[in-house]
Protein backbone atom coordinates (compact mmCIF):
# COMPACT_ATOMS: atom_id res chain seq x y z
CA UNK A 1 0.00 0.00 0.00
CA UNK A 2 1.27 3.37 -0.96
CA UNK A 3 0.96 6.28 1.37
CA UNK A 4 -0.02 9.73 0.11
CA UNK A 5 1.27 12.98 1.60
CA UNK A 6 -1.33 15.58 1.84
CA UNK A 7 -0.04 19.04 1.12
CA UNK A 8 -0.67 21.80 3.61
CA UNK A 9 -1.02 25.36 2.38
CA UNK A 10 0.40 27.94 4.70
CA UNK A 11 -1.81 30.89 5.52
CA UNK A 12 -0.42 34.07 6.87
CA UNK A 13 -2.80 35.65 9.39
CA UNK A 14 -2.29 39.08 10.82
CA UNK A 15 -3.15 39.92 14.41
CA UNK A 16 -6.11 42.13 13.43
CA UNK A 17 -7.58 39.49 11.15
CA UNK A 18 -7.28 36.84 13.83
CA UNK A 19 -9.11 38.99 16.35
CA UNK A 20 -11.91 39.67 13.88
CA UNK A 21 -12.30 35.96 13.10
CA UNK A 22 -12.30 34.96 16.75
CA UNK A 23 -14.85 37.65 17.61
CA UNK A 24 -17.13 36.54 14.81
CA UNK A 25 -16.92 32.91 15.90
CA UNK A 26 -17.72 33.81 19.49
CA UNK A 27 -20.73 35.86 18.47
CA UNK A 28 -22.00 33.10 16.22
CA UNK A 29 -21.57 30.53 18.97
CA UNK A 30 -23.49 32.67 21.47
CA UNK A 31 -26.26 33.49 19.03
CA UNK A 32 -25.69 37.26 19.48
CA UNK A 33 -26.43 39.90 16.93
CA UNK A 34 -23.87 41.94 15.17
CA UNK A 35 -22.68 45.04 17.00
CA UNK A 36 -24.78 48.13 16.30
CA UNK A 37 -23.23 51.42 15.46
CA UNK A 38 -24.36 53.85 18.20
CA UNK A 39 -24.70 56.61 15.62
CA UNK A 40 -27.32 54.57 13.71
CA UNK A 41 -29.37 53.58 16.78
CA UNK A 42 -32.75 55.37 17.05
CA UNK A 43 -32.84 58.04 19.71
CA UNK A 44 -35.33 57.52 22.53
CA UNK A 45 -37.00 60.87 23.28
CA UNK A 46 -39.59 61.95 25.82
CA UNK A 47 -43.08 60.45 25.44
CA UNK A 48 -45.45 62.39 23.20
CA UNK A 49 -47.52 64.97 25.00
CA UNK A 50 -51.35 64.75 24.73
CA UNK A 51 -52.90 66.98 22.09
CA UNK A 52 -55.41 69.33 23.78
CA UNK A 53 -57.28 69.95 20.55
CA UNK A 54 -57.62 66.24 19.91
CA UNK A 55 -58.82 65.66 23.48
CA UNK A 56 -61.41 68.43 23.13
CA UNK A 57 -62.53 67.14 19.72
CA UNK A 58 -63.11 63.68 21.16
CA UNK A 59 -65.51 65.08 23.77
CA UNK A 60 -67.23 67.36 21.26
CA UNK A 61 -67.78 64.38 18.93
CA UNK A 62 -69.68 62.68 21.75
CA UNK A 63 -71.58 65.93 22.40
CA UNK A 64 -72.85 66.03 18.82
CA UNK A 65 -74.55 62.66 19.33
CA UNK A 66 -76.29 63.68 22.54
CA UNK A 67 -80.02 64.47 22.75
CA UNK A 68 -81.14 66.07 26.00
CA UNK A 69 -82.89 68.80 27.94
CA UNK A 70 -80.45 70.70 30.17
CA UNK A 71 -80.79 73.74 32.43
CA UNK A 72 -77.99 76.27 32.88
CA UNK A 73 -77.32 79.42 34.84
CA UNK A 74 -75.80 82.38 33.01
CA UNK A 75 -73.79 84.75 35.16
CA UNK A 76 -72.91 88.14 33.70
CA UNK A 77 -70.86 90.60 35.71
CA UNK A 78 -73.02 93.33 37.18
CA UNK A 79 -76.30 91.49 36.54
CA UNK A 80 -78.46 88.99 38.37
CA UNK A 81 -78.02 85.33 37.29
CA UNK A 82 -80.26 84.27 34.43
CA UNK A 83 -81.60 80.86 33.43
CA UNK A 84 -81.02 79.13 30.09
CA UNK A 85 -82.90 75.98 29.04
CA UNK A 86 -81.47 73.93 26.17
CA UNK A 87 -83.44 71.25 24.30
CA UNK A 88 -81.81 69.11 21.62
CA UNK A 89 -84.52 66.77 20.35
CA UNK A 90 -84.22 63.30 18.87
CA UNK A 91 -84.94 64.59 15.35
CA UNK A 92 -82.09 67.15 15.70
CA UNK A 93 -84.41 70.12 16.08
CA UNK A 94 -83.36 72.36 18.96
CA UNK A 95 -84.57 75.21 21.14
CA UNK A 96 -82.74 77.51 23.57
CA UNK A 97 -84.84 79.52 26.06
CA UNK A 98 -82.94 82.56 27.33
CA UNK A 99 -84.09 84.62 30.27
CA UNK A 100 -83.41 88.26 29.46
CA UNK A 101 -82.29 87.40 25.92
CA UNK A 102 -83.83 90.49 24.29
CA UNK A 103 -84.48 94.19 24.85
CA UNK A 104 -81.38 94.69 26.96
CA UNK A 105 -82.24 91.86 29.35
CA UNK A 106 -85.84 92.86 29.98
CA UNK A 107 -87.55 90.28 27.71
CA UNK A 108 -87.32 86.48 27.73
CA UNK A 109 -87.11 84.73 24.37
CA UNK A 110 -86.68 81.31 22.81
CA UNK A 111 -84.58 80.66 19.70
CA UNK A 112 -85.97 77.55 17.99
CA UNK A 113 -84.56 75.70 14.99
CA UNK A 114 -86.90 73.57 12.88
CA UNK A 115 -86.71 72.26 9.29
CA UNK A 116 -88.75 75.23 8.08
CA UNK A 117 -86.47 77.82 9.66
CA UNK A 118 -85.20 79.53 12.81
CA UNK A 119 -87.76 81.31 14.99
CA UNK A 120 -87.64 83.90 17.73
CA UNK A 121 -90.47 83.52 20.24
CA UNK A 122 -91.21 85.71 23.27
CA UNK A 123 -91.78 83.66 26.43
CA UNK A 124 -92.95 84.51 29.95
CA UNK A 125 -95.47 85.54 28.70
CA UNK A 126 -95.57 83.59 25.46
CA UNK A 127 -96.27 85.40 22.23
CA UNK A 128 -96.21 84.74 18.52
CA UNK A 129 -93.09 83.26 16.91
CA UNK A 130 -91.35 85.14 14.12
CA UNK A 131 -89.28 83.37 11.48
CA UNK A 132 -85.90 85.11 11.55
CA UNK A 133 -83.70 82.95 9.34
CA UNK A 134 -83.09 79.75 7.44
CA UNK A 135 -82.46 76.48 9.27
CA UNK A 136 -79.13 76.36 11.13
CA UNK A 137 -78.11 79.80 9.84
CA UNK A 138 -76.75 82.74 11.80
CA UNK A 139 -79.15 85.44 12.81
CA UNK A 140 -78.77 89.15 12.05
CA UNK A 141 -76.58 90.73 14.77
CA UNK A 142 -79.31 93.11 15.94
CA UNK A 143 -81.55 90.21 17.08
CA UNK A 144 -78.93 87.54 17.83
CA UNK A 145 -78.43 86.53 21.50
CA UNK A 146 -75.57 84.20 20.37
CA UNK A 147 -75.93 81.77 23.30
CA UNK A 148 -77.49 79.13 21.06
CA UNK A 149 -74.24 78.70 19.11
CA UNK A 150 -72.51 77.23 22.18
CA UNK A 151 -74.73 74.15 21.91
CA UNK A 152 -75.04 73.75 18.14
CA UNK A 153 -72.97 75.64 15.54
CA UNK A 154 -69.75 75.87 17.55
CA UNK A 155 -69.56 72.09 17.90
CA UNK A 156 -68.83 71.84 14.16
CA UNK A 157 -66.16 74.54 14.47
CA UNK A 158 -64.41 72.69 17.30
CA UNK A 159 -64.42 69.48 15.25
CA UNK A 160 -63.13 71.01 12.01
CA UNK A 161 -59.33 70.68 11.84
CA UNK A 162 -59.29 73.10 8.91
CA UNK A 163 -60.37 75.95 11.20
CA UNK A 164 -57.30 77.56 12.81
CA UNK A 165 -57.81 77.37 16.56
CA UNK A 166 -55.40 77.55 19.48
CA UNK A 167 -56.51 75.02 22.10
CA UNK A 168 -54.88 74.51 25.49
CA UNK A 169 -55.80 72.72 28.69
CA UNK A 170 -57.35 75.11 31.25
CA UNK A 171 -58.09 75.09 34.93
CA UNK A 172 -61.60 73.82 35.78
CA UNK A 173 -64.20 76.57 36.02
CA UNK A 174 -65.98 77.17 39.29
CA UNK A 175 -68.67 74.60 39.92
CA UNK A 176 -67.22 71.80 37.80
CA UNK A 177 -64.47 69.20 37.89
CA UNK A 178 -64.74 68.23 34.21
CA UNK A 179 -61.76 68.80 31.90
CA UNK A 180 -61.71 72.35 30.51
CA UNK A 181 -60.07 73.73 27.39
CA UNK A 182 -59.20 77.30 26.46
CA UNK A 183 -60.03 78.06 22.83
CA UNK A 184 -58.74 81.04 20.87
CA UNK A 185 -59.72 81.56 17.23
CA UNK A 186 -56.72 82.02 14.98
CA UNK A 187 -58.59 84.00 12.36
CA UNK A 188 -58.39 87.76 12.62
CA UNK A 189 -61.72 88.71 11.21
CA UNK A 190 -64.67 90.92 12.01
CA UNK A 191 -66.73 87.82 12.78
CA UNK A 192 -64.55 84.85 13.83
CA UNK A 193 -66.16 81.38 13.58
CA UNK A 194 -66.24 81.02 17.37
CA UNK A 195 -65.86 83.28 20.38
CA UNK A 196 -62.77 82.88 22.50
CA UNK A 197 -63.52 81.12 25.76
CA UNK A 198 -63.15 78.13 28.06
CA UNK A 199 -65.30 75.04 27.43
CA UNK A 200 -65.73 72.11 29.83
CA UNK A 201 -67.28 68.78 28.76
CA UNK A 202 -67.80 65.70 30.89
CA UNK A 203 -67.21 62.12 29.70
CA UNK A 204 -70.78 61.89 28.34
CA UNK A 205 -70.23 64.88 26.05
CA UNK A 206 -72.42 67.25 28.07
CA UNK A 207 -71.25 70.84 28.38
CA UNK A 208 -71.02 71.41 32.12
CA UNK A 209 -69.55 74.91 32.01
CA UNK A 210 -68.38 77.56 29.56
CA UNK A 211 -66.88 81.00 29.98
CA UNK A 212 -67.36 83.26 26.97
CA UNK A 213 -67.64 87.03 26.46
CA UNK A 214 -71.41 86.77 27.05
CA UNK A 215 -70.85 85.39 30.56
CA UNK A 216 -70.32 82.06 32.32
CA UNK A 217 -72.69 79.15 31.77
CA UNK A 218 -72.94 76.44 34.43
CA UNK A 219 -75.03 73.28 34.25
CA UNK A 220 -77.61 72.98 37.04
CA UNK A 221 -78.67 69.40 37.72
CA UNK A 222 -78.66 66.34 35.50
CA UNK A 223 -79.95 66.58 31.92
CA UNK A 224 -83.38 65.08 31.21
CA UNK A 225 -84.33 62.82 28.26
CA UNK A 226 -84.97 64.61 24.99
CA UNK A 227 -88.39 64.86 23.32
CA UNK A 228 -88.96 63.54 19.83
CA UNK A 229 -89.10 67.10 18.45
CA UNK A 230 -89.21 70.62 19.79
CA UNK A 231 -92.40 72.65 19.85
CA UNK A 232 -92.80 76.38 19.36
CA UNK A 233 -94.20 78.21 22.39
CA UNK A 234 -96.63 80.17 20.24
CA UNK A 235 -98.17 80.44 16.78
CA UNK A 236 -96.12 81.68 13.84
CA UNK A 237 -96.96 85.29 13.06
CA UNK A 238 -95.76 88.04 10.75
CA UNK A 239 -94.15 90.67 12.97
CA UNK A 240 -90.85 92.32 13.76
CA UNK A 241 -88.54 90.32 16.06
CA UNK A 242 -87.27 91.74 19.31
CA UNK A 243 -83.80 93.27 19.30
CA UNK A 244 -81.11 92.42 21.80
CA UNK A 245 -80.45 96.05 22.76
CA UNK A 246 -82.55 98.11 25.12
CA UNK A 247 -85.29 100.04 23.37
CA UNK A 248 -84.74 103.77 23.07
CA UNK A 249 -86.45 105.86 25.76
CA UNK A 250 -89.74 107.47 24.77
CA UNK A 251 -89.43 111.07 23.61
CA UNK A 252 -90.05 113.77 26.18
CA UNK A 253 -93.45 115.49 25.85
CA UNK A 254 -93.28 118.89 24.21
CA UNK A 255 -95.35 121.88 25.32
CA UNK A 256 -98.55 122.21 23.35
CA UNK A 257 -98.45 125.02 20.82
CA UNK A 258 -102.15 125.77 21.40
CA UNK A 259 -101.69 126.63 25.09
CA UNK A 260 -102.12 130.39 25.58
CA UNK A 261 -99.16 132.16 27.03
CA UNK A 262 -99.80 134.29 30.10
CA UNK A 263 -97.75 137.44 30.37
CA UNK A 264 -96.27 138.02 33.80
CA UNK A 265 -97.86 140.82 35.76
CA UNK A 266 -95.65 143.64 36.85
CA UNK A 267 -96.65 145.70 39.83
CA UNK A 268 -95.54 149.31 39.88
CA UNK A 269 -95.33 151.28 43.06
CA UNK A 270 -96.24 154.88 42.97
Q: pLDDT, tens digit, for every residue of 105-136?
A: 999 999 999 999 999 999 989 899 999 999 99
Q: Phi/psi at 103 (nearest 5 deg)? A: 55, 45
pLDDT at 219: 98
β-strand partners of 133: 118
Q: Kindly report the average pLDDT of the chain as a whole number.
A: 83
pLDDT at 10 over 50: no
Q: Phi/psi at 164 (nearest 5 deg)? A: -70, 110
pLDDT at 37: 52
- All domains of the chain in start order, with CATH: 52-219 (2.50.20.10)
Per residue in 126-179, pLDDT tens? 899 999 999 999 999 999 999 999 999 999 999 999 999 999 999 999 889 999
| Angle at 175 (CA atoms; ends 170, 181), nearest 5 degrees | 20
Whole-angstrom Cα distance, residue 218 to residue 215? 10
258 vs 215: which has the higher pLDDT: 215
Amino acid sequence: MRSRRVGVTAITVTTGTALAVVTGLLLAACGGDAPVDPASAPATGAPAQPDPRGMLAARVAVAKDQRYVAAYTLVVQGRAPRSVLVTVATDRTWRVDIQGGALGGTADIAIANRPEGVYQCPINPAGGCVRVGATNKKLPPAIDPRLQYVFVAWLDVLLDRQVPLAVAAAQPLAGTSAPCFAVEPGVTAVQPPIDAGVFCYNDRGILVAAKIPLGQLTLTGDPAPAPETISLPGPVIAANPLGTSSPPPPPSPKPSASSPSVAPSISRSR
